[in-house]
């Protein structure tokens, strides 16, 4: 305190005196022991201040003579204190400093997104309903389905996120599109075709070039009917990501040919040889990619049997695709298995997603706060986070980090995934990272065709994070899908969170579209999520909640649970 | 030269003590304060304000020159000062003057009072 006062006094002295002697005077104070002596120095400083300003005007502006090397050889230094730069030099310096500042900011931003980003398994779970909404078609999701901000046309965050432990083998085909069940399609065939047309809502949903595939109308002119063509051409656009899709209905039912897919276009009369060729392609792909080789083999046999018996003598391309889909599902009961027909030509070598695709996705995410709908603190200091997707972490890392940071001082945290249809595995890992104080193994991704397994881990502990030990709750519904199920399942297996709500949809496999010929594409689940603790996943069964309540009551229940948990502490 | 020096006389007690302190060796400000206190047996204490005010004058009159800082010093902020030949001359002149004063004083104090 006294020292600070003394410093203030010294600062008030005339600059010439201050520059010359202030350091030494302060040094004397520092070597003076005792409070009384220090107070004496303060008084002396006051007197000196008055003396210097009243009696020593001759020294106010008297620059001290330059310090020449002392006779004993002790070096001295010149200072630039009296130097005054030209105005032009000041302006140049200002411009230069501003430029360097901007470049530094850009480098930091760029580095944050592209360089420092920890690469984690690139697993993309898709969000079909968002496409649907975006496309202007009728949303077919359940009544409580959130208005998930739809990705605009073809956002393709192509940023590939490889697993930190190993390079994630890039699938050579595209992710699977959402699969429609018959009842939904029957009710809303247009919506269905739209959805089916944009399987990679996040990754490569209906890229613009695909819309303009030869023989196909541009989407903006015929937005609904063009979707299927988009699907088929674009389904091959994104080689770097896996994704799940969101079913519109829970129960897979036998398909009713003719209602499954509606695409506008020509009537194609398929010859027996053409049909055989498609079946051959389907069998080859099933045998190679389908997650269960035995089931694949049985499906192949069934397809050949139908072909032999003439059951599949449909001459219409769409009807034939529906028929094949039905035949495959009859054996596998896998509602995500699907043959898709397109009137457009599916390119053999799909173009890579363009920077525009990525830019569009980024813009959309920026426009909807990366789907983080609610971030707030509830009574009793319970953090509540509702996000309606797991967006690409390479785009939304900052937003997610900000949302989690705002939860940092909460005593408990509730993740509301009731309206979350999934998304990117890298965001799953990113958000889960806040719940652990050490890197934690979340799950594995087994690629059957490549016979490889990639691991997904949380990121290293987040500096300053205080949520690692806080009680966590996850709200689920029957609409919780794909990556959102993965997040729930992982935390449940790790006993890190209490799941409250309904059993989830049950999508634990991922797949891709595989081109058979110019018009037929088959979608095959080929990647299985395997939890390291349960050694299985939630495919078909969904994730069971710890506390089963209706989705609408889940939040209240979780709040009470959290409150009770906090009271016990 | 003598006239040049004599114009600075008499010296103030503070300056006299400071020049005396520097006459023996090069010192930094704090050491000058301590040396002055020692010389006067604690009866005359310089505060930093007074010390550096007078150092300012001495430097300006070139009685003293600055040697700069010394790396080996315990406090690198300290600067050392040295008496210049001019300063030494002034001190000598002041000493002579004071000697005369002392001598005169003794004579007067010892002499018997005369009656008019």
Q: Are A123 and A425 in contact (CB under 8 A)?
A: yes
What are the b/e assignments for B11-31, b being 16+ CB within 10 Å? beebbbbbbbbbeeebbbbbb
In a domain, A423, yes or no: yes
Whether A70 sits inside 8 A of B68 (CB atoms) is yes
Residue A550 has pLDDT above 70, yes or no: yes
Select from A356, A398, A387, A454 the least CA-distant residue to A127. A387
| A183 vs B63, residue with greater confidence | B63
Beta bridge partners of B61: none
The residue-averaged pLDDT of A499-513 equals 89
Q: DSSP 3-state assignment of A402?
A: helix
Element housing A513 (H / E): strand A509-515
In a domain, A183, yes or no: no
Q: Which residues contact A251 (CB under 8 A, 6 or more apart)?
A: A181, A183
**Of all residues in chain B, what percent are helix, strand and coil, respectively (each to 5)?**
60, 10, 30
| Interface contacts (A, B; CB < 8 Å) | 81
Q: Which residues contact A308 (CB under 8 A, 6 or more apart)?
A: none
- Give the pTM: 0.48
In a domain, A557, yes or no: yes
Give the tokens for residue A478: 């029957």
Separation between Cα atoms, residue A223 and residue A102, nearest integer Å: 42
Whether B66 sits inside 8 A of A51 (CB atoms) is no
Q: Say what the pLDDT of residue A111 is.
A: 67
Give the tokens for residue A49: 């201040």
Select from A148, A132, A119 the least CA-distant residue to A389. A148
Whether A59 sits inside 8 A of B56 (CB atoms) is yes
To the nearest whole angstrom, how far is the Cα of A2 from the nearest Cα of chain B?
A: 15
Question: Of A38, A59, A80, which one is at a domain's C-terminal end?
Answer: A59
Give A188's pLDDT tier (boundaries 50, 70, 90). Answer: very low
Separation between Cα atoms, residue A257 and residue A237, nearest integer Å: 28
In a domain, A398, yes or no: yes
- ipTM > 0.90, yes or no: no
Interval A368-409: pLDDT, tens: 999 999 999 999 999 999 999 999 998 999 999 999 999 999
Q: What is the CB neighbour count within 10 angstroms for residue A248?
A: 25
The residue-averaged pLDDT of A525-535 equals 91
Q: DSSP 3-state assignment of A476?
A: strand
Question: Of A44, A59, A74, which one is at a domain's C-terminal end?
Answer: A59
The two beta strands, A372-378 and A382-387, are: antiparallel
Handedness of CA B15, B18, B23, B26 (dihedral sign): negative
To the nearest whole angstrom, how far is the Cα of B82 from the nearest Cα of chain A?
A: 10
- Backbone conformation region of residue A47, classed left if phi is above 0, alpha if psi is from -120 to 50, else beta: alpha
Give A335's pLDDT tier (boundaries 50, 70, 90). Answer: confident
What are the b/e assignments for A359-395, b being 16+ CB within 10 Å? ebbbebbeebbbbbbebeebeeebbbbbbbbbbbbbb
Q: Are A419 and A478 in contact (CB under 8 A)?
A: no
Q: Are A145 and A130 in contact (CB under 8 A)?
A: no
Q: DSSP letter at A500?
A: E
Q: What is the CB neighbour count within 10 angstroms for residue A110?
A: 11
Q: Say what the pLDDT of residue A222 is.
A: 29
Separation between Cα atoms, residue A154 and residue A202, nearest integer Å: 7
In a domain, A416, yes or no: yes
Q: Say what the pLDDT of residue A64 is.
A: 56
Q: Are A487 and A390 in contact (CB under 8 A)?
A: yes
Q: DSSP 3-state assignment of A174?
A: strand
- Structural domains in chain B plus CATH codes: 2-110 (1.10.10.10)
Q: DSSP 3-state assignment of A45?
A: helix
Whether B49 sits inside 8 A of A20 (CB atoms) is no
Q: In chain A, which among 58-97 make CB contacts under 8 A with chain B?
A: 59, 62, 64, 67, 70-72, 74-76
Q: At what angle do helices A425-433 and A393-406 cross, to 10 degrees?
A: 30
Q: Where does A369-410 show beta strands of DSSP type E?
A: 372-378, 382-387
The residue assigned the tokens 């005077």 is: A25
The residue-averaged pLDDT of A223-247 equals 33
How many domains does chain A contain in total? 2
Give A108's pLDDT tier (boundaries 50, 70, 90). Answer: confident
Whether B28 sits inside 8 A of A24 (CB atoms) is yes
Interval A396-445: pLDDT, tens: 999 999 999 999 999 999 999 999 998 888 999 999 999 999 899 999 99
Give the tokens for residue B74: 């315990």
In a domain, A393, yes or no: yes
Query: What's the CATH code of the domain at A506?
Result: 3.90.226.10
> Is B52 an interface residue toward A (CB < 8 Å)?
yes
To the nearest whole angstrom, how far is the Cα of B47 from the nearest Cα of chain A?
A: 6
Residues of B in contact with A42 (CB under 8 A): none
Cis peptide, bond prior to residue A537, ω within 30 of zero: no
To the nearest whole angstrom, how far is the Cα of A75 from the nearest Cα of chain B?
A: 8
Q: Say what the pLDDT of residue B110 is.
A: 79
Question: Of A32, A59, A86, which one is at a domain's C-terminal end?
Answer: A59
Q: DSSP letter at A417?
A: -
Q: DSSP 3-state assignment of A522?
A: strand
Backbone angles phi, psi at A500, to 5 degrees: -125, 125
Instruction: Please calculate the CA angle A111-A115-A118 and round it to the nearest 5 degrees.
Output: 125
Select from A465, A52, A243, A367 the least CA-distant residue to B53. A52
For A386, the domain range is 357-568
């Amino acid at each position: 305190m006294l020292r600070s006062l003394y410093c203030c006094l010294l600062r008030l002295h005339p600059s010439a005196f201050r520059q010359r002697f202030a350091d030494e005077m302060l040094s004397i104070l520092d070597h003076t022991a005792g409070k009384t002596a220090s107070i004496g120095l303060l008084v002396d400083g006051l007197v000196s201040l008055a003396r210097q300003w009243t009696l020593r005007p001759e020294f106010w502006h008297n620059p001290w003579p330059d310090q020449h090397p002392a006779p004993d050889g002790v070096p001295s230094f010149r200072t630039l204190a009296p130097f005054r730069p030209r105005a032009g030099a000041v302006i140049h310096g200002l411009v230069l400093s501003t430029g360097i500042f901007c470049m530094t900011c850009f480098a930091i931003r760029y580095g944050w997104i592209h360089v420092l980003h920890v690469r984690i398994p690139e697993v993309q779970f898709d969000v079909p309903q968002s496409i649907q909404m975006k496309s202007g078609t009728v949303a077919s999701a359940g009544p409580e389905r959130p208005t998930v901000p739809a990705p605009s046309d073809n956002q393709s965050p192509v940023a590939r996120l490889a697993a930190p432990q190993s390079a994630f083998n890039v699938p050579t085909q595209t992710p699977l599109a959402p699969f429609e069940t018959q009842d939904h399609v029957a009710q809303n065939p247009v919506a269905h075709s739209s959805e089916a047309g944009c399987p990679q809502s996040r990754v490569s949903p209906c890229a613009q070039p695909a819309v303009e595939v030869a023989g196909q109308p541009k989407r903006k002119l015929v937005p609904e009917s063009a979707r299927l063509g988009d699907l088929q051409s674009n389904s091959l656009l994104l080689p770097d990501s896996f994704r799940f899709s969101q079913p519109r209905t829970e129960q897979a039912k036998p398909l009713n040919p003719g209602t499954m897919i509606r695409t506008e276009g020509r009537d194609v009369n398929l010859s027996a040889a053409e049909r055989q060729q498609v079946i051959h392609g389907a069998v080859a792909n099933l045998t190679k990619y389908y997650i269960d080789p035995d089931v694949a083999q049985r499906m192949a046999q069934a397809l050949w049997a139908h072909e032999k018996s003439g059951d599949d003598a449909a001459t219409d391309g769409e009807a034939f695709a529906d028929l094949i889909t039905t035949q495959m599902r009859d054996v596998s009961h896998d509602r995500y298995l699907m043959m898709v027909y397109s009137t457009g030509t599916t390119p053999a070598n799909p173009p890579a997603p363009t920077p525009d695709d990525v830019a569009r996705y980024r813009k959309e995410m920026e426009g909807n706060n990366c789907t983080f709908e609610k971030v707030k603190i509830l009574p009793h200091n319970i953090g509540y986070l509702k996000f309606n997707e797991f967006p690409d972490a390479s785009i939304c890392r900052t937003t997610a980090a900000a949302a989690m940071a705002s939860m940092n001082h909460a005593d408990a945290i509730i993740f509301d995934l009731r309206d979350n249809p999934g998304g990117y595995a890298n965001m799953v890992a990113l958000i889960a990272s806040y719940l652990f104080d050490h890197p934690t193994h979340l799950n594995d991704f087994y690629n059957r065709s490549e016979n490889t397994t990639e691991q997904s881990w949380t990121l290293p502990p987040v500096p300053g994070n205080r949520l690692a030990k806080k009680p966590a709750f996850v709200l689920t519904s029957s609409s919780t899908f794909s990556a959102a199920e993965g997040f729930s399942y992982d935390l449940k297996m790790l006993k890190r969170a209490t799941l409250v709500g309904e059993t989830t949809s049950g999508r634990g496999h991922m797949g891709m579209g595989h081109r058979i010929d110019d018009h037929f594409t088959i979608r095959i689940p080929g990647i299985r999520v395997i939890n390291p603790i349960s050694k299985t996943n939630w495919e078909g069964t969904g994730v069971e909640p710890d506390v089963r309540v209706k989705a609408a009551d889940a939040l209240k229940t979780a709040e009470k649970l959290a409150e009770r948990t906090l009271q016990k502490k | 030269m003598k006239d040049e020096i004599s114009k600075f006389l008499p010296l103030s007690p503070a300056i006299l003590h400071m020049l005396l302190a520097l006459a023996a060796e090069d010192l930094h400000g704090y050491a000058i304060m301590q040396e002055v206190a020692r010389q006067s047996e604690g009866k005359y204490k310089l505060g930093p304000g007074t010390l550096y005010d007078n150092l300012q004058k001495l430097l300006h009159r070139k009685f003293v020159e600055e040697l700069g800082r010394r790396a080996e010093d315990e406090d690198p902020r300290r600067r050392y000062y040295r008496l210049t030949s001019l300063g030494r001359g002034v001190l000598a002149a002041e000493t002579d003057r004071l000697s005369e004063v002392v001598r005169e004083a003794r004579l007067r104090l010892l002499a018997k009072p005369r009656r008019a």
